[in-house]
Amino acid sequence: MHPAYSVIFFTTASGAGYGMLVWLAALAALGDPNPGLVGGLILFALALGLVTAGLLSSTFHLGHPERAWRALSQWRSSWLSREGVAAIITYGPALLFALGWVVFTSVEGIWMIVGLVAAFMALVTVACTGMIYASLKAIPRWTDITVVPVYLAFALSTGGALALATLAVISPLPSLWAWLVTLAIALSWGLKLVYWNRIDNAAPVATAETATGLGHIGPVSLFEAPHTGENYIMREMGFQIARKHAARLRIIALVLGGAVPLLAFATAALSVGPVMVAACIVGVAGVGIGVLLERWLFFAEAQHAAMLYYGAKAV
């Protein structure tokens, strides 16, 4: 599949924003550290800003962005529509949570309840995003059972890394939070390794023989291209990346997005002052770059069944 930059930004930015909302709810529930008024404003501005920017960028990939609102009406059958509905619903409790924290300086009682509801809806929205791809049977690599868990894990790890780095700059940070973020990062890349292993060793779901129904005659191969010019299917569905390039990018993503942040946040957990702040900044930068590469590969390595009619042997 052709990696659309707007969709890559959407899934990574909104995922980080929703992940931050989950961490903010956990922060409020445990009550330590308390970032105060200014810190609360910065944290909620980052979380909701990333969510909003991601959602807006997703409309750039549409042929008619001005009609995006119509997708909300198909929530009974479309995961894209369910994601949009869930995203809108999430704004309500998230803004109320921010109001209680920032204006009324309270995260107890009703404010804690709306915070937990916001965290739950944030996870629901990310799960819907993952299901948009996991439900597309024409792209077998996306239907793997690990796709939705990977989306959820990366939302928590990126959101946690960003929240932790912000908190480190604002106020002294208990080592517990650095260790929790380290665990989230390890979990997300562990799941990604499982996903890569599964798609690399998965048996073909469809072949040129099953697609054409001519398998009983013998092996099927392309005799002549369907047309002389490039079309939408070839441009969007026929993107391919060489296996050696994909392997190299996987290693880079794993090192920058996994190994570097793990070392950085472990260092942050064991240090204080400027060293802790610097380690958190290095960690969040590594997470950001690594997840962008991971998400690009998620699209670039996907093979659409339509390409079986354009010369592909199997998907």
pLDDT in tens, 4-62: 888 899 999 999 999 999 999 998 888 766 677 888 889 999 999 999 998 888 777 66
Q: How far is CA 170 from CA 39, 139, 274, in A?
A: 6, 44, 12
Instruction: Provide mean pLDDT across the span 126-131.
Output: 96
Instruction: Provide mean pLDDT across the span 150-156.
Output: 97
For residues 137, 142, 143 and 149, what is the CA-based torsion angle, rounded to 10 degrees?
A: -150
> Who has greater pLDDT, 30 or 132?
132
pLDDT of residue 309: 77
Let me know: does 204 contact 315? Beta carbons within 8 Å. yes
CA–CA separation, 260 and 161 (whole Å): 12
Task: Please list the alpha-helical segments (H only) found in 99-146.
Answer: 110-134
For residue 188, is pLDDT > 90?
yes
Instruction: Provide mean pLDDT across the span 76-85.
Output: 90
Task: Express each pLDDT in 203-239 by its tens digit.
Answer: 888 888 877 787 788 787 777 667 767 776 777 777 8
- Quickly tell me which residue has 């024409």 as its tokens: 138
> Who has greater pLDDT, 69 or 171?
171
Look at phi and psi of residue 31 and say left if phi exceeds 0, alpha if psi is from -120 to 50, else beta: left
Binned at pLDDT 50, 70 and 90, residue 165 comes out as: very high
Residue 286's nearest CA partner among 181, 143, 173, 138 is 181
**Candidate ranges 49-63, 99-113, 227-241, 274-288; pick with highest mean pLDDT:** 274-288
Q: How crowded is residue 222: how many other Cβ atoms within 10 Å of its Cβ?
A: 13
pLDDT of residue 61: 64
pTM of the model: 0.91
First and final C-alpha spacing in the chain: 12
Binned at pLDDT 50, 70 and 90, residue 63 comes out as: low
Binned at pLDDT 50, 70 and 90, residue 121 comes out as: very high
All structural domains of the chain with their residue ranges: 5-310
Let me know: does 304 contact 142? Beta carbons within 8 Å. no
Residue 181's nearest CA partner among 294, 119, 271, 267 is 267
The share of the chain scoring above pLDDT 90, in percent, equals 58
Burial class (CB in 10 A: 0-12, 13-18, 19+), 213: exposed
Task: Name the amino acid, one letter, at 87.
Answer: A
CATH code for residues 5-310: 1.20.1630.10
CA–CA separation, 131 and 309 (whole Å): 26
Instruction: Provide mean pLDDT across the span 71-77.
Output: 78
Task: Express each pLDDT in 170-179 by its tens digit.
Answer: 877 778 889 9
Task: Express each pLDDT in 238-263 by its tens digit.
Answer: 787 878 899 999 999 999 999 999 99
